[in-house]
Structure 1
Amino acid sequence: MHCHHMIPALLLSTAPAAHAWGVLGHSTVAYVAQHYVTPSTANFVQAILGTAPDYMANVSSWPDTYRRTPEGEWSTQLHWIDANDAPPESCEVEYTRDCRPRAAKSTEAQLLDAIRFLIHFAGDIHQPLHTEALEEGGNGINITWDGKTANLHAIWDTQIPVKAAAGKNASEWAEEMVGLIENGKYNASGWLDATSLDDIKGTAMSWANDANDYVCTDVLPDGREAIEAEGVDLAGAYFEKHGEVTKELIARAGYRLGSFLNLIVDGPANGHWSDN
């Protein structure tokens, strides 16, 4: 139940081990961000991460590996915000209720770690169940997916995005999302409304509340009993109705990440920022 003020600290709290969005989702977020960074931002980030074509995507899951090491265990609680709300009747994240200040245990984060955390946490904060306390972000809700028992958190991390990607790899899926943004199918113009370096807490809470809304509308629209019921397989009608939203959430995460990095490197008057 902690929210930690790390460089853009985007998140944070305790729950059992899980990979938000899984590798596909995190890589896709990073590829979308790579599309939207300005040349100066790309140069800045590549000076730290290297110049490989997947320079952001290839570090996007590093924090999930790091937190499973003895030296990285301290960072585990940064991956969630546990919103103590009441889905599906009400969904909201409140800073004072859901985030308690925590004493910083680490020294000033190195730039490399800070950028790797930011790339990852910008993804985490857009996974609805990373902003929800109910049954530890859905880890304790057992459901059926494709004939097998699974937990709700895990399928939103991995199985739902993989099925929604329909065979595309991360860079191909990102390309599809960029197309949807560019042709106006996704209305990205409002995605940056609450994003500001002057109010990083407000930015993070805005993004978290965006994602948390989906707990009521798509993750648990009819409550947990409806998805836990015998004979209900979420790879069927539930996926058909609610699976596509993962695509827009991942697109939004990547667009916001790229724009946020531009804001850090170029300032608010430059690059894509001023277009929105």
Structure 2
Amino acid sequence: MKIARFVCGLLLVTTSVQALAWGQNGHRIVGQIANEHLTKKTQQALLPLLGGDLLAEVGTWADEMRSDPAEFWQKDSTRWHYINVAAPKDFDASHYHTPQTKEEVKDIYGGILRCIAALKDKNTPLAERQFYLRFLVHLVGDIHQPMHTGHAEDRGGNLIEVKFFGELTNLHSLWDTELLESQNLSFSEFAAFINTQDKQLIKTYLTSSPADWLKESMALSESIYQSAAPAATNTLPEFSYGYIHQQLPVAEERLLQAGIRLAGLLNSIFDPRAKPGTAALAVKP
């Protein structure tokens, strides 16, 4: 697994970061925080599924596998990472059914439902359970990245050019990677800085469902779009320290929520009878 991940990482050098979510550090932060809130039973249940890796490592797997030439990774997997809805009010979770195969997944919400169902099904073969665990870790991070619920016409901000400290980039990449990288922290340092053991805050975060997480991101994406509106015709929005001061706390909260909620979701799957304690509570279905 580690050698395969290294090879995929090399291939990603030629892949635009615009296609990724939270960047490598962001997904690792989510996995690192989640690991700190798992029950012992959940940790044991994950061992054969992780194959010697850590949650912080497998969080980037679904992006790395895009270099695989198989049809699923080249044609089908992309739609797992995002959803485009005109407005939060237009999203209705009741209209969704849980996809029965990975080919039926049409967007990130359906992908999460599919992963949960497969992991809860004790008849799912080990190799498939490993697949769905790795994808679920990634998708919980993705669904908390606001621009993965952005507008279809601009590809979630990919087509909106902005400048960050004078360098040309786009709104999606700014949120995927550059906002976090501006702190010059390793993923473990970043996770340690924002992690929490506040049981009331954890409980607040977990009194929610994946549909709620999606709607939160949709609302945040609209605010982000507004922040990138050009001040004048034919000018690009320019961001620097002021933008970091304004938006980094939002990104930090989304990463923390993603980590806590991932742990709660995994606990609900693998240790549903766990009592609230130092580990995260179970996410409500």
User: TM class by shorter-chain length?
Assistant: 0.7 to 0.9
Quick one: which amino acid aligns to residue 187 of structure 1?
A: L
1: CA distance between counterparts of 2:99 and 2:86? 18
Kindly state the Cα deviation for residue 243 of structure 1 after the two structures are TM-superposed: 2.2
Counterpart in the other structure of 2:213: 207
Kindly indicate whether the alpha-carbon contact (under 8 Å) linking 1:40 and 1:266 is maintained by their aligned counterparts in 2. Answer: yes
In 2 relative to 1, CA 232–274 (structure 1 residues): closer, same or farther, beyond 3 Å? closer
Quick one: which amino acid aligns to residue 94 of structure 1?
A: F
Correspondence list, 1:1-276, <5 A: 18-51=19-52, 55-71=54-70, 72-73=73-74, 74-85=76-87, 91-92=88-89, 94-95=91-92, 104=101, 106=103, 110-134=128-152, 135-163=154-182, 166-178=183-195, 181-183=196-198, 187-194=201-208, 203-217=209-223, 219-222=224-227, 224-226=229-231, 230=235, 232-271=237-276, 272-274=279-281
1: CA distance between counterparts of 2:191 and 2:51? 21
Higher percent of residues as helix: 2
TM-score (normalizing by structure 2): 0.74
1: CA distance between counterparts of 2:40 and 2:239? 42
In 2 relative to 1, CA 173–228 (structure 1 residues): closer, same or farther, beyond 3 Å? farther
Q: Percent identity?
A: 27
2: CA distance between counterparts of 1:92 and 1:23? 31
For these two proteins, the number of residue pairs brought into alignment is: 240
1: CA distance between counterparts of 2:170 and 2:129? 35
Structure number with the bigger relative contact order (C-alpha 8 A, sep ≥ 6) is 1
Kindly state the Cα deviation for residue 58 of structure 1 after the two structures are TM-superposed: 1.1
2: CA distance between counterparts of 1:18 and 1:242? 21
Kindly state the Cα deviation for residue 210 of structure 1 after the two structures are TM-superposed: 1.4
Kindly indicate whether the alpha-carbon contact (under 8 Å) linking 1:93 and 1:208 is maintained by their aligned counterparts in 2. Answer: no
- Structure 2: 5+ residue runs without aligned partners? 1-16, 105-123
Question: SS at 1:267's partner residue?
Answer: coil
- Structure 1: 5+ residue runs without aligned partners? 1-15, 86-90, 195-202
1: CA distance between counterparts of 2:232 and 2:32? 32
Question: SS at 1:205's partner residue?
Answer: helix
1: CA distance between counterparts of 2:130 and 2:229? 40
